Copies of this chain bind each other. A is one copy, B any other.
């Protein structure tokens, strides 16, 4: 029903330069791209981990398969949006109709996000490393057989908070929160602290990473929706549905 309403609202939306429909044949979206709920919108998605180099052979990484972010990019494209997917190092195939920009570190991801603006909505799914090795060693660090010095760290840019604070921020900024305890409470605090409009919170104390399913909570200013366990594709579709509804409230 929401889909139908949105697609009618948007049917008279801005004319794009779409010359072919990369998503033709998808069962959920057999109508032309210009009739789809996110047609004319630009959705920015980040996905995957970041890798923070220590030296030429070592790095600090965050666990993230990238699957949830890629599923969201795919669902946004299927809903008719122009999609920019800024992806950390993962081995996933690019979904059809998605513009992919590959990055490695948090600083590269921050630059790619800024370069992708303007966007109508941003969904920041990437598991960005909070910190990196303070000093990059151009030569491989050798075991010296002596004491092992602690590794000095430096804080990475906060991509979500930085984006949410920009004057040209997307109208809707959605963050993700992977939590191992007090999932909803941590995520509600994160929403406020980061200046995000919504936070999708999930409990990663189990083995959700790399798996096909996800159990999430959608946290907005006016409350929390607890979603049932869904496939990552269904989490993506439901989130994109909500985003389409929100953007239609112009």
Contacts and interface: CB of A to CB of B under 8 A. Distances in A.
A63 interface: yes
Nearest to A53: B63
Contacts of A150: 149-153
Contact of A180 (B63, B139, B143, B204): B139
Contacts of A139: 180-181
Quickly give the copy total for this chain. Answer: 2
Given A91-B91, A130-B143, A178-B140, A60 B63 contact: no
A226 B62 CA distance: 38
A68 to B, nearest CB: 14
A148 interface: yes
Contact of A151 (B127, B153, B155, B178): B153
A61 interface: yes
A153 B144 CA distance: 14
A180 B56 contact: yes
A179 B155 CA distance: 29
A143 B155 CA distance: 9
Nearest to A140: B180
Interface of A: 51, 54, 56-64, 91, 127, 129-131, 138-141, 143, 148-155, 178-181, 204-205, 209
